[in-house]
Amino acid sequence: MQVALSAISALTLQLGSMGDRRKTLVVVTEEIGRAERRRGQDLPTLDTIVRSANRANVAVYPLDPGETPTRRALIREVIRSMMLAR
């Protein structure tokens, strides 16, 4: 899980360096867990990723591929409308 959180954090920081406009990161995953911060480690947690994303003007949307068919249709429609809004 820590590798995934580190990757999401790095993507958020990279997107944040691409200007002031709002950016979107869609994360396809079955679960995003909370990693506890340990003393002496400088690894990202879900809370630090949220703060970094807010500062960088990046919206992060987790997408669970295991959702029900109705929910998946709604998610597809939301993603399609986001793509059209660009």
Instruction: Render pLDDT for 25-57 as a digit per residue (tens, 0 to 9).
Output: 988 887 766 656 566 666 788 888 889 999 999
Q: At 4, which helix (H) or strand (E)? A: helix 2-16
What are the respective helix, strand and coil percentages of the chain, to the nearest 5? Answer: 50, 15, 35
pLDDT value of position 49 = 87
Contact present, 52 and 16 (Cβ < 8 Å): yes
Per DSSP, 14 falls in state H
pLDDT value of position 47 = 85
- Stated pTM of the model: 0.64
